[in-house]
């Protein structure tokens, strides 16, 4: 506290002089008025006071004296114009960046349930960050200003730049976490641009440090910027188990059933036991008990789920099998499951579109063409002559799978960047085989095969007669599906674009005459169909996600816009009090692509607004499904930030509002005078 008017010594001197004067006045003996009465002895008996009344009169004079001293002290201090030190410092312009990513829903260090309601939630990292933001705002001086920026999957400004603490505090009410990572890159850039050049400009980032690479880079750049930037961390237990993938795949050969894949990862540092439950339209179709070591990932496949049930949901439950209704103060991690947001995932049984296959052939292998034509229900086959087998050809660029069966012709150089099946690619020395040739083999004898591999399911190659072939040099990651006396003859190379190389020409063998040949071709189509991008209609949360309408099952022909409604959640159907319809947004479609804004997990409805198929609808599942968003470990320590970027302890709130204190002191003095006047007239102090 500092005196901006009279100095402290002057105020003390004035009070001392005034106190002596008041005390001297109270020490003067009161001169009583003489009254002549007819009989003094009688009046003496009437006016005689008891000992108790004399004591009260003495005490009343002391209280009256103290009251006058208090009035004098208030007036003297008012002359000094007292002001808190925070009012006299230089103005501050503070930008508070508040992390609202999914990891901020994790328990804070030393989290404990709130008081009052038995179902009160444990304190989260976001709760702790909001309390720190409130402390910063309440400590603002009368000339200070601040703004609040929240960083989730999208960046918002709930509290614009203002010097009104009440307005800023209201902007912190009802904040909640958002699914996905925090877009700190945009949030910090916005904060710096808002306060740069202002008096006392400073940026304060409130985060738990569980950031992805772009956000961590933004924090580092902020710490290196000339504009002061401080980081306040809110950490807690890092235990968490998340559903990192959930998808559904139709069986191409069985349209009545689907296969469901769920991937669960333990992102904590301790082993965890949990239960994975999968429901289809609210009916449980699978329940698996999982024991996960620290950092372990497990994939569970539930086969032959009825395709008539289109909405799928995966949930993680405690090992006991029940969902806890109240938080456990002794275990804020919920048995290692961590925050609830990543314990639930949605999926939609996708439409089955034909896989586009381009067959490059000289037309002499009718067995291969016949085997492909039997699959016409779920493939779109297009044959091309050898001379048209070049990269950039529209038919090849649109194909999901390209099969080369070109006999004595060399392979094109370069090969198209598609999934490839190559029959006898190293037959010619000048042919640019992507898998290096090892040696020529005369009359190879097939001795070994990976029977459990999907490409060789139900395929028996025993006693297949082959005139000639070539073996391959295996690179890292290559899988030898078939060997001839230990030499790789059929090799699979997986990657962004997979490749299957068969080291012999089917026309120089009796393989096409066996039942195994069409089964092998069928397995090839199924294998590459499973790896098709966009085959599963599920997208991650995010402010803007480009999606192709064709991959979702809508025709792009003549389509100019789609209406997006959601999110819909299966549990909403059971909520009798939920009557508000999800909002509907329109998104333009350009060249078959639209951008979807999905900030919350759930099921969204996409409807064609115009075009020949106006009114057609498809469903899209949106999930968090992000390891970085679910990992609760802080990554700030790895950045090795400068020490000065560490935020100090929360500031003490200003003791009073921003009004002048001397006016409050005068009001207090006036109140005491009014109280003394009322007590005098009520004959309490007389």
CATH number, domain containing residue 212:
3.40.50.410
Verify that 373 and 513 share a domain, yes or no. yes
Residue 163 sits in the same domain as residue 261: no
653 domain-assigned: no
Structural domain includes residue 683: no
Residue 469 — pLDDT band, cuts 50, 70, 90? very high
DSSP annotation of 212: -
Q: Are residues 422 and 518 in the same domain?
A: yes
Cα 140 versus chain centre, distance: 31
Is the same domain home to 519 and 560? no
pTM of the model: 0.63
d(CA 409, CA 131): 73
> Do the strands 283-292 and 2-3 form a parallel or antiparallel pair, or are they unpaired?
unpaired
pLDDT per residue over 2-12, tens digit each?
666 677 788 78
| DSSP states along 377-426 | TTEEEEEE-GGG--TT-HHHHT-SEEEEE-TTSPPPSSPPSSEEEEESTT
The CATH number given to whatever domain includes residue 507 is: 3.40.50.880
Let me know whether 180 and 218 are in one domain. Answer: yes
**19 plus 143 within the same structural domain:** no
Does 384 lie in the same domain as 491?
Answer: yes
- Domain count of the chain? 5
Q: Is residue 676, in this structure, part of any structural domain at all?
A: no
Residue 607 domain flag: yes
Domain membership of residue 588 (yes or no) is yes
State which H helix or E strand residue 71 sits in: helix 51-80
Number of C-alpha atoms within 13 angstroms, CB side, residue 562? Answer: 33
DSSP 343: G
User: Rounded to an integer, what distance in angstroms lies between the CA atom of residue 361 and that of residue 214?
Assistant: 47
Kindly state the tokens that stand for 54.
Answer: 């004399």
Report the chain's C-alpha Rg in angstroms. 40
| Direct distance between the N- and C-terminal alpha carbons of the chain, in angstroms, rounded to an integer | 38
CATH code of 616's domain: 2.60.40
Say if residue 344 is in the same domain as residue 471. no
443 falls within a domain:
yes
Of 37, 53, 83, the one marking the end of a domain is 83
pLDDT band at 202 (very low <50, low <70, confident <90, very high): very high
Segment 636-648 shows an average pLDDT of 82
pLDDT at residue 52 tops 50:
no
Does residue 228 share a domain with residue 129?
A: yes
When pLDDT is cut at 50, 70 and 90, the band that residue 117 belongs to is very low
Residues 261 and 340 in one domain: yes
* Same-domain pairing of 617 and 641: no
Instruction: Report the pLDDT averaged over residues 538-563.
Output: 80
Position 305 scores a pLDDT of: 84
| Tokens linked to 248 | 């559904």
Round to whole Å and give the CA distance between 177 and 188.
18
Residue 259, domain CATH: 2.60.40.10
pLDDT the model gives residue 451: 87
With beta carbons less than 8 A apart as the criterion, state whether 128 and 108 touch. yes
Residue 86's pLDDT band (boundaries 50, 70, 90)? low
Q: Is the pLDDT of residue 321 over 90?
A: no
Positive or negative, the CA dihedral 363, 367, 371, 374 is positive
The whole-number average pLDDT for the span 261-285 is 91
Helices 661-681/51-80 angle, 10° precision: 160
Domain of residue 250, residue span: 241-348
């Amino acid at each position: 506290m500092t005196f901006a008017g009279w100095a402290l010594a002057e105020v003390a001197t004035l009070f001392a002089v005034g106190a002596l004067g008041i005390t001297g006045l109270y020490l003067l003996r009161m001169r009583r008025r003489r009254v002549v009465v007819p009989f003094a002895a009688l009046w003496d008996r009437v006016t005689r006071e008891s000992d108790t009344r004399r004591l009260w009169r003495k005490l009343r004079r002391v209280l009256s004296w103290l009251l006058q001293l208090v009035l004098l002290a208030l007036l003297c201090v008012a002359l000094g114009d007292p002001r808190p030190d925070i009012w006299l410092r230089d103005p501050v312009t503070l930008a508070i960046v508040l992390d609202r990513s999914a990891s901020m829903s994790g328990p804070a260090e030393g989290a404990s349930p709130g008081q009052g309601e038995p179902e009160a939630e444990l304190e989260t990292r976001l709760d702790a960050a909001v309390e720190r933001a409130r402390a910063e705002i309440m400590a603002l001086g009368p000339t200070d200003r601040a703004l609040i920026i929240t960083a989730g999957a999208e960046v918002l400004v709930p509290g614009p730049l203002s010097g009104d603490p009440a307005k800023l505090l209201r902007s912190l009410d009802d904040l909640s976490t958002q699914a996905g990572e925090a877009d700190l890159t945009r949030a910090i850039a916005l904060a710096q641009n808002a306060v740069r050049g202002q008096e006392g400009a400073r940026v304060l980032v409130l985060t738990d440090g569980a950031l992805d690479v772009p956000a961590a880079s933004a924090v580092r750049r902020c710490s290196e910027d000339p504009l002061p930037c401080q980081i306040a961390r809110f950490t807690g237990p890092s235990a968490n188990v998340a559903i990192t993938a959930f998808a559904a795949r139709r069986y191409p050969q069985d349209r009545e059933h689907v296969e469901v894949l769920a991937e669960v990862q333990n992102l904590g540092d301790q082993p965890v036991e949990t239960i994975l439950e999968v429901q289809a339209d609210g009916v449980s179709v699978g329940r698996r008990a999982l024991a996960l070591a620290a950092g372990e990932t497990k994939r569970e496949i539930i086969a032959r789920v009825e395709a008539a049930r289109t909405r799928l949901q995966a949930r993680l439950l405690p090992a006991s099998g029940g969902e806890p209704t109240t938080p456990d103060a002794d275990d804020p991690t919920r048995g290692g499951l961590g925050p609830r947001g990543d314990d639930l995932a949605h999926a939609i049984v996708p439409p089955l579109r034909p896989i586009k296959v381009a067959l490059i052939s000289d037309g002499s292998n009718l067995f291969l063409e016949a085997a492909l034509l039997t699959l016409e229900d779920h493939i779109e086959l297009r044959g091309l002559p050898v001379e048209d087998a070049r990269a950039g050809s529209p038919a090849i660029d649109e194909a999901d799978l390209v099969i080369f069966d070109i006999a004595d012709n060399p392979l094109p150089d370069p090969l198209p960047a598609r999934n490839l099946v190559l029959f006898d690619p190293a037959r010619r020395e000048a042919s640019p085989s992507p898998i290096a040739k090892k040696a020529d083999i005369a009359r190879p004898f097939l001795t070994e095969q990976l029977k459990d591999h999907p490409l060789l399911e139900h395929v028996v190659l025993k006693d297949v007669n082959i005139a000639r072939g070539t073996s391959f040099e295996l690179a890292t990651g290559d899988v030898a599906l078939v060997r001839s006396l230990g030499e790789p003859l059929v090799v699979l190379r997986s990657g962004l674009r997979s490749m299957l190389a068969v080291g012999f020409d089917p026309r120089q063998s009796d393989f096409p005459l066996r039942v195994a040949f069409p089964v092998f071709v069928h397995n090839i189509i199924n294998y590459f169909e499973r790896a098709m991008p966009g085959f599963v209609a599920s997208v991650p949360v995010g402010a803007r996600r480009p999606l192709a309408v064709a991959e979702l099952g809508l025709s792009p022909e003549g389509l100019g816009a789609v209406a997006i409604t959601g999110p819909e959640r299966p549990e909403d159907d059971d909520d009798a009090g939920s009557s508000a319809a999800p909002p509907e947004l329109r998104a333009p479609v350009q060249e078959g692509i639209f951008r979807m804004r999905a900030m919350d997990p759930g099921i969204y409805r996409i409807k064609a607004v115009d075009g020949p198929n106006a009114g057609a609808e498809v469903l899209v599942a949106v999930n968090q499904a992000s390891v970085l968003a679910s990992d609760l470990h802080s990554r700030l320590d790895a950045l090795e930030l400068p020490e000065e970027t560490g935020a100090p302890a929360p500031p003490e709130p200003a003791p009073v509002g921003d009004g002048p204190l001397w006016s409050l002191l005068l009001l207090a003095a006036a109140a005491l005078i009014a109280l003394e006047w009322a007590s005098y007239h009520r004959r309490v102090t007389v």
